[in-house]
Amino acid sequence: MSSLAEKLDVWGFEEGRFIFKDMSLGAILKITPRDISCATDEELNTLHQVAADFLNGLPAGLSLQFVQMIEKGGASLIQNHTALSEAQEPLIEKMLADRVRRLQELDNSGMAPSQSMYVVLRRPFKKAIAKKKSVFSFWKKNNHEEADFTRDTIEPELRSFSQLVEQVRHGFETLGITSIEIQEDSAFALLFDQWNPLYPLEGMNFNREDIRDDLILSDMVMSLKGFALGRVHHRVLSLKIMPEHTFSAMSEKLRDLLFDSRLHLSVEVLDQERETLTLETQRRIAYAMYAGKKGVSDLESEAKLKDIEALLSGRVSGQEKIFSVALNVVLRHENEEELENQVAAVLQLFRELSGAEGMVESLAAGPMFLEFSLPNARAKERSRRMNTSVLADFLPIYGDWSGHDNPRVILRNRRGSLLGFDPFSPKLTNFNQIVSGGSGAGKSFLTNVLIAQLMKENPKVFIIDIGGSYKKMTENLGGQYVALGADSDISLNPFDLSDSSQEAVDQKIKFMTSLVELMTKEDEASGIGKLERSEIEQAIKDILRDEKEPKLSHLREKLLNNAEPALMRMGKILGPWVGDSPFGKFVDRRSNLALTSPIVCFDLKGLESLPELQAVCLFLITDLIWREVQRDRISQKFVVFDECWKLIESGAGSRFIAEVFRTFRKYRASAIAISQTMDDFAKSKIASAILPNSSVKWILKQTGGNLPSLKETLLLNERETRLVESVTSKKGYFSEAFLIAGDDKQVVVVESTPLEYWLATTDPADLKAFEEARNRNPELPDAEILENLAREFPRGASA
């Protein structure tokens, strides 16, 4: 092991920087890759030019290495998700435990791969160092002479290198990539895993001046096919033949590398003057071969001459630099047979890069790995010259959006990676959400699954539904399920105030005016005029001031006594809404409904035969919820409106909903608006209220005719439209959605645990199985019946 340690280029740390044997300094940056899954061709071409400018700005002598690791990395995300829990309801705790167990299994098995991206920088000292015996302990172990290494020597070099690191980081910012420099402990852990796979790192007690012996705890055993470190076999693959042509962001394909693979793209910025002289020499040779054959066409020499002249032209104009580049992929696995299958898959992936070819290293694998392994950032074997334009296409700087920092909800992308979603992320301009999808696409199922994950934090959830899609979820999580009907014996007094503040009074006056307009407006009428509105507002103000228990009948009386015929007429129209009439029992009495549970669901299905009352009920319930939201600015709150927008298409309704959607953010509240088509929002009076005030949009599988209007409404580009078209689902397994979260866009996979599935499902076969199980076991609570069904039919009754 000591002999292997002595072969390492790296020596130790000095003020957080790597120091190498050849008197060079190094650092490792962790970068957040750029998501280009929805980028247009124009944006990709612009990105290519920015990448070229970044490369051209790098100084000669710098070595940098882009390292992509595909590994398990969901543990911290899962831990953060769990740490958010404040759940006390047993069923919520069980759902969380089941979810965490499932996610951990996916992560440990490699089914939820995580992409980690690093950039290693290395540069020699700018000033040559005289040789003499070392004065530092980490050079004493060698018998030969070393550099004259003093503080006066090292400090200017460290300052200069720090400036270089900041220059590179700023260059990444121009590419839309954030970066952080990892510190000594994290850097050592990264190197330790590289040399000691499967070996646990216990503590950080290592010699920082000379890390080599502490770093190598495994022996390297060479073979004809590669090498092994401990029990883990390794294979090294190299790029042998360049692609026939390159294009912007072609390296995005390299994201498809297999689990536990590491890609190393090693780049050295060459002395450009020396490279120009070399090119000129090559040009003269190519010209001689082309022009020296009189009467004979030498197509190969002519093509080579043109390529060299184009490269020289780019060098002279400053558009192109020459780099030394090597691309290597390291695969590792305990099972050699599985490793060979991975090798074949990676070679095929190389071929998909416009006809490139890779090769498997044999006896050279070990020495090559020693050369390009972290943090060396250098690779001479299999290296080739590349100009700026080609290298810009090769940079592995692309990856999927990794989600929000606070993983209140955990989803997966199409590669299986975990990502966190936070409806209250500070990156969002507001917290409202839209869910759109065709019939049967799983809109209610998606919302149920979101609620199931969010309930661990004890939010307040209010649902307005037409059809019972949330009944099981509400009743089994200790909530209130309020089924409204003509005989429901529920009263909601629209004059109720949340408090006596002037702001609350002003809001109530606006609400009551809109309610009167909703109750009295004739079909095709334009709404209440300015004079009538002013009179109504004054009447409401007087009632709130004078009456101890104001009711709608008080307002009707004032309108009937008004001298204006239009107001008298409105008072008469309000007749069916007061007293002991069917409608009056609902709106002209003292409220008898208190929202005391963490989750409350109102089902308006029973009012479908009374559309006028159904619309008014929706309006009143929204006001009731709005007042509950205003009572508390701290707790999370969610208000779900499931396909009930046609009930409030009036001007009065849209104005009130607009106010709700605009101001929810102030109260840490998120409105979730659900509809089958985006046209329900875009082509109704409520469009201006909802669309601009909803930063989050979940687009599920659409029916064919909806796509053009969806594209126009959401301003989707062609790539985004194709992604929406590709969204699919498999009942009992997953449902995909195109998620728009502010500026971030991604196709996400929504999955549920078996118990979450049975709480959320509205499939007729599942509902039938649930009812049959209840009939067979009348003594069991519904929650236990659902748990039994989840164990017996984890994918649903018809799976």
Distance CA 606, CA 610 (A): 9
- pLDDT exceeding 90 applies to what percent of the chain? 67
Count of alpha carbons within 13 Å of 223, Cβ hemisphere only?
A: 14
Q: What is the pLDDT of residue 18?
A: 97
Q: What is the pLDDT of residue 631?
A: 87
- pLDDT-derived band at 682 (thresholds 50, 70, 90) equals confident
Please tell me whether residue 679 adopts helix, strand or coil conformation. Answer: helix
Helix (H) or strand (E) holding 575: none
Q: What is the pLDDT of residue 140?
A: 46
Q: What is the pLDDT of residue 141?
A: 45
Distance CA 197, CA 540 (A): 74
The residues, any chain, with a CB within 8 Å of residue 181's CB and separated by 6 or more, are 16, 27, 28, 29, 30, 165, 169
- Which tens digit of pLDDT belongs to each residue from 303-327? 677 767 777 777 776 788 999 999 9
Contact 444, 451 (CB under 8 A): no
Per-residue DSSP letter, 362? S
- Which tens digit of pLDDT belongs to each residue from 123-168? 999 876 655 544 444 444 444 444 556 778 899 999 999 999 999 9
Across the range 36-48, mean pLDDT stands at 94
Across the range 18-37, mean pLDDT stands at 95
- pLDDT-derived band at 558 (thresholds 50, 70, 90) equals very high
- Which tens digit of pLDDT belongs to each residue from 460-480? 999 999 888 999 999 999 999
How long a stretch of residues is the chain? 799
Q: What is the pLDDT of residue 147?
A: 53
pLDDT at 13 over 70: yes
Q: Which residue has the tokens 């228990």?
A: 549
- Which tens digit of pLDDT belongs to each residue from 755-790? 999 999 999 999 999 999 999 999 999 999 999 999
| DSSP for 109-131, written as a single string | TTSSEEEEEEEEEEEE-SS---E
- Which tens digit of pLDDT belongs to each residue from 49-96? 999 999 999 999 999 999 999 998 899 999 999 999 998 899 999 999
Across the range 614-624, mean pLDDT stands at 88
Distance CA 225, CA 258 (A): 19
pLDDT at 366 over 70: yes
Q: How far separated are the first and last CA of the chain, in Å rounded?
A: 55
- pLDDT-derived band at 569 (thresholds 50, 70, 90) equals very high
Distance CA 605, CA 697 (A): 26
Distance CA 484, CA 29 (A): 59
Q: What is the pLDDT of residue 651?
A: 64
Which stretches of 350-506 are assigned E, i.e. beta strand? 357-360, 384-387, 409-413, 418-421, 433-436, 460-465, 480-485
- Which tens digit of pLDDT belongs to each residue from 580-594? 888 999 999 999 998
Q: What backbone phi and psi angles, to 5 degrees, belong to 350?
A: -60, -45
Burial 579-614 (b: 16+ CB within 10 A, else e): eeeebbbbbbbeeebebeebbbbbbbebbeebeebb
pTM above 0.85, yes or no: yes
Distance CA 213, CA 364 (A): 24
Distance CA 512, CA 759 (A): 38
Q: What is the pLDDT of residue 779?
A: 94
Distance CA 655, CA 512 (A): 12
